[in-house]
Each structure stands twice: as C-alpha cells, then as structure tokens.
Structure 1
Amino acid sequence: MRRGPFRVGDRVQLTDSRGRMHTIALEAGKQFHTHRGHIKHDDLIGMPDGTVITHSSGAEYLALRPLLSDYVLSMPRGAQVVYPKDAGQIVTMADIFPGARVVEAGVGSGALSLSLLRAVGDGGQLFSFERREDFAEIARANARIFFGEDHPAWTVTVGDLVEALPQTVQPGSIDRVVLDMLAPWECLDAVGEALAPGGVLICYVATATQLSRVAETARDKGGWTEPQAWESMVRDWHLEGLSVRPEHRMHGHTGFLITTRKLAPGTTAPLRRTRPAPGAYGEDYTPPNDEVWTAEDLGERQISDKRVRRTARGLAAQVERDDRIPDEDGPGAAD
C-alpha cells in the first residue's frame, strides 16, 4: 500500500501552490471538488507517486501518499493527538524495537499507537488500554484506515490500566511501557510488575506539576532508576533565495517526557552524587499524596460527547466505504 502507482482505495494528499493540503481516498468515477472546480479520481489512478495533476480551473496540485506525520495531524480525532515531534522522541528514547512487547495507555485518537505499531512491526505486540469505548473506537478506525487492515500486533482493551493489565500480560513479560494519561504515577506499581528488569517506562504529561509528581513517586517507591525529563520544541525555517531565517511561528510546548527503567528485584539504585538544590525539599515542598486529579485541574479543554460520537460515525462510514472498494491487484500483484 505504500509503493507503486496510485490504486483504487489509496489515500492521496493533494497540495496546491499555497501549500494547502487535502487528503482523499481514490474511488473510480469520483471527483474531488473545491470552490473553483474539480479533479477526477480516474486521472490519478494508475499515476506514479509524486505526480502533478491539473485542476479543472487550470491550477496544479502535487499528489503524494501522505506520510504518517501528515496523517496523524489531519485524521479525525476524539482526544488530542500526540504530535509527531513527541511520538518520534518516544519511539527513540524508549528504544521501541521490532518485536518488542509494549504497553500503552491511554489510546486517545490512536496517533501514538500508529508510531508504536510501526516500530514493533508484525512480530511485536502492542497492548493498548483506553478507559473510553468511544475513543478506542475512533483509534481502531484511524489505524485501520492508515494500515488498510487491522494491524496483527495490536490489542486494544477498554478499561482501567491498573485493573486490566495483570489480566492481560504475565509479570515481567513487557519490554516497554508508554503512559499518556492524567495521573501516570498511580500506575507505577502495576507497570512495575509487568515490566521485565531493565524495561523502560516513559510518560507523556502536559504540566510541570505532573512531571514532578511522576519523578517523586518513582523515587519514593524505589525499584526505578533516577528519572530523566525533557521537552522538545521544533522551529521551522524559511528558505527562499537569500531569505534564510527562522519562521515567525514555531511548535512550542506540547508536553513533557519523563523516562525511567525498572531495576532488578531487590536492587537499590546508587544514591545520586549531586545534592538537591537549596530549598528543593523545604517547607513549601508537598510530598506525593492520594488526592484525586481531574483534567479540569490541569486546564485541559474537554471534548464534547456529541463531537466524539460524530467523529466515530464518520470514521465508521469511511471504513465501510474502504471495505467496499474491490482489490484490483489480485493475488501475486507487485507491492
């Protein structure tokens, strides 16, 4: 699905002279319409990737298969997606390798799941946990549209990670755990039991308060290496003749990443050589406690149930349309 000329059912990204992008799924006899005219799908079917197609108005559009980074930014969503810059950091810094057994929570709209599935390959396993059935439904549909089928390495469980994880995997059988959730520190005992010694835990959190809470809870519980935390910011550059400069806008803060590794049973990590900053644990310091956190506490904008239902219905209809499109290649066709 990623090579060769465009075929019926392929997703194609059309880019105009101003850089505006439109993504379409090719169907015989269909047309893509804009306010100025249309492009016939039949004119694209059979053409090579990277073709320039002429609009009925005379405007030219560049036709390419969308990259994963393009797809996750334009795909239908229920929850906010993990941006490609952070997904790339997660895959690299957590060392997600082909054949790995990975646990992920929560799934959201499935953006990070796509990167994790790409990394583990067909020979690995990704166990994803999501509390909301509607979000899980949207994620499954987005993944099926992108891969063209249900990925063989993916298992999605609807439920709470702490309760469902012990019933899904054996203790010490997981290589990596990726947590994108409100209160990941509440899951440290459960994921610590599932992780093999040396396994990596990486958490994606939105605020500095969450970041501190994860680090201090891991230190307090023991059994983990010293946590490391960072954020990444991406600044595009304008390239035109001698006008080579940073763009005026940049992809700033989206979230923090914090990672730690599981120690062998009964092992205590060496004490840190560096002393904490003066006042780090002074009178103003509040140790981890059992208070309940909500998304509203962190300023997270809530997605309405009506919007989620509308997104799920639209994706289900799109998957149904893709399933009805016949496979014109047949057995033994070139990839």
Structure 2
Amino acid sequence: MNILKDGDRIHLVDKKSRHYALSLKAGDVFQLSGETIPHDQIIGQPDGTVVTLSTGRRMLALYPTLSEYVLKMPRGAQVLYPKDLGVIIQWADIYPGAHVFEAGTGSGALTMALLRAVGDRGHVVSYEAREDFARTAMKNIERYLGPVPNLTVRQRNAYEGIEEGALDRVILDLPEPWQVVPHAATALRSGGIYLSYVPTIPQVMQTVEALHRTAVFSMIQTFETLLRTWNIEGRSVRPDHRMVAHSGFLTVARKVGPGFGPCAAVESSGEPGLVDEVIE
C-alpha cells in the first residue's frame, strides 16, 4: 500500500475533477477558498483516501499520474501536453536501455516521460540553453521521480552542436529544430530515430527540407494528434464541447545508410507509415 508521506507532492481532487497540487509538510495547513485541512490529517493516509475539509467538503488525496503532474507543476517554459508525450514515446520508439538525446529541457515534462521509458539501463542527455529553465526542470523532475542518476542536463545550445555520439534517439522541442538536424545526422547511430515537435507548418517545412539535405534521413513523416473526450451519463452520450485539438506537429525520420535517399512513409488504412501489403 502506498502511504502519503511528509514531503510528498500530491493532488487534492474535488468532485468536478479539479486538481490542487501541494507538497505535504508536517504542521502546515492547506487552504482553499476559506476551507482548510491540516497536512497532518493527510500524512500517513493511503493513496486515494477521502479527506474532509473544515466545512465538510470532501476531496480525494492521491499521488498524481505523470500526465496530471505535468499540468500542475511549476513551469519555466510551456510544457508538452500529455497527448503529445504519449505519442512521442511511441513513435520515437523509446525503449528500455536506450541512449536518448533531448533539447530543450524546458520544464521537464518530456524529460520525465523519456526517463520512465528508458528505465534504469538507459540514459537521457538533455540540453537547455537557459539556466533558469534547467533549474526549474530539475526541481520538477526530482520532486516526481526522486534522484535520477541516468539523467545528464547540460546548459548548452543544441544549435551549436551535440557533444554525444552513437545516440539511439534524438528528440527536439525547439523553435528551430532544422538548425540541429545536421548535428543529429552525425550524432545518431545508423537506424536511429529523429523526432521534433513544432507548433507551425512553416517550421515543419524548414525541418523537412533540412532532413532531405543531409541525405542520411529516410521514412520522413509529419502528423499531429487531436484528443476529444466524451461525456457518458446514463443515456446521455455525446462528445465534450471542448477538446485538446492542435498543439503541435511531430516530424519523425530514420537515419539510414548511404545510397538509399530520403523517402516518405507510405500512408495506408488511416495510419501514417503503415502498409497493408505483406511481402513474404
């Protein structure tokens, strides 16, 4: 059983699914619109317990999932939405033991997703040009994951180069990823995967052009993910009026041997990069 402990970062959740983040500290008091509850009444309780505020309002006290945590953690830079984090892990094929390069670190949301995917046998190297962003990111990461010996954060500008080599994956969340593409072409191992996230099509166009110019990237594809939740209440079944629509475009490419040249992944059955035909 997971027990809520002094020093833990937890969320209190009301019946409207609104989350309120707090760090438990013995002797402190949580306040919300004139209602209070001492932290001591939460510390020692099991994860997911129901707590009662001073006016009788009941809330859930629980450890947040990574998706919930990143939306409420302190931010230095804008974070990637959970819908994009999950897609990045899948399409970049981040696997246990992988050696992954990331730039920039931002507030640490993508870094945490990468760390959980590579596991203890893998390693993540993250470049962040701004010291204040890097400092905020490390606090967020260590608050949620604890000590992370398999993470190296460098205050460096990825546009100027990538120090590491033989990388399995290069993941970029930068305004001008095309400036890093030539460095990624050298730093990635053969068969390695490049992925970048940008909010606009002009940025995508420049990135894809840069990938073509290197002559070592193939299977290039760009897509976006739209997330729409549904309201299910008895016989009232409808999509929610609001959705998390466009947030950014993901461009994925594979580093290959010389002589093959760039090619686009074939679209089939509504799934990018999948082909119906099976060749035996």
TM over 0.5, yes or no? yes
1: CA distance, partners of 2:264 / 2:54: 67
Give the SS at the match of 1:227: strand
Equivalent of 1:155, from 152, 171, 174?
Answer: 152
Equivalent of 1:233, from 226, 237, 245?
Answer: 226
Give a deviation string over 1:26-59, Cα, whole Å, max 9, x none.
Answer: 1222211122321121221221111111111011
User: Is 1:99 matched up with 2:97?
Assistant: yes
| Structure 1: 5+ residue stretches without partners | 275-335
1: CA distance, partners of 2:264 / 2:134: 41
Task: Give the residue type in structure 1 aligned to 2:146.
Answer: G
Matched residue, 2:196: 203
Matched residue, 1:48: 46
- Using a 3 Å threshold, how does the CA distance of structure 1 residues 247 and 215 change in structure 2: closer, same or farther? same
Between the two proteins, the alignment pairs up a number of residues equal to 266
Matched residue, 1:58: 56
Equivalent of 2:136, from 135, 138, 149?
Answer: 138
Higher relative contact order structure (alpha carbons within 8 Å, sequence separation ≥ 6): 1
1: CA distance, partners of 2:201 / 2:5: 47
How far 1:273 sits from its partner (Å)?
11
Matched residue, 2:260: 268
- Using a 3 Å threshold, how does the CA distance of structure 1 residues 133 and 10 change in structure 2: closer, same or farther? same
2: CA distance, partners of 1:210 / 1:70: 29
- Using a 3 Å threshold, how does the CA distance of structure 1 residues 4 and 268 change in structure 2: closer, same or farther? same
Contact 2:215–2:262 (8 Å) recurs in 1: no
Equivalent of 2:239, from 224, 240, 246?
Answer: 246
Matched residue, 2:272: none
Matched residue, 1:216: 209
Question: Radius of gyration: which is bigger?
Answer: 1
More strand by proportion, 1 or 2? 2
- Using a 3 Å threshold, how does the CA distance of structure 1 residues 64 and 118 change in structure 2: closer, same or farther? same
- Using a 3 Å threshold, how does the CA distance of structure 1 residues 270 and 118 change in structure 2: closer, same or farther? closer
Contact 2:185–2:255 (8 Å) recurs in 1: yes
Give a deviation string over 1:147-175, Cα, whole Å, max 9, x none.
Answer: 233x1111111112143523xx23xx100
2: CA distance, partners of 1:7 / 1:273: 49
User: Is 1:122 matched up with 2:120?
Assistant: yes
How far 1:78 sits from its partner (Å)?
1.4
Identify the range of structure 1 (72-81 vs 10-19) with the bigger mean alpha-carbon deviation. 10-19
2: CA distance, partners of 1:39 / 1:71: 21
Contact 1:102–1:126 (8 Å) recurs in 2: yes
User: Is 1:176 matched up with 2:169?
Assistant: yes
2: CA distance, partners of 1:88 / 1:25: 26
- Using a 3 Å threshold, how does the CA distance of structure 1 residues 271 and 97 change in structure 2: closer, same or farther? closer
| Structure 2: 5+ residue stretches without partners | 267-280
- Using a 3 Å threshold, how does the CA distance of structure 1 residues 197 and 37 change in structure 2: closer, same or farther? same
Task: Give the residue type in structure 1 aligned to 2:150.
Answer: A
Contact 1:219–1:226 (8 Å) recurs in 2: no
Matched residue, 1:87: 85
2: CA distance, partners of 1:220 / 1:147: 39
Give a deviation string over 1:168-187, Cα, whole Å, max 9, x none.
Answer: x23xx100000111111111
Contact 1:85–1:234 (8 Å) recurs in 2: yes
Contact 2:98–2:169 (8 Å) recurs in 1: yes
Task: Give the residue type in structure 2 aligned to 1:163.
Answer: E
Matched residue, 2:275: none
Task: Give the residue type in structure 1 aligned to 2:55.
Answer: S
More helix by proportion, 1 or 2? 1
Matched residue, 1:277: none
Contact 2:221–2:264 (8 Å) recurs in 1: no
Give a deviation string over 1:114-163, Cα, whole Å, max 9, x none.
Answer: 101111112211110111111111111111111233x1111111112143
How far 1:108 sits from its partner (Å)?
1.1
Give the SS at the match of 1:198: strand
Give a deviation string over 1:2-21, Cα, whole Å, max 9, x none.
Answer: x6211111222111123222
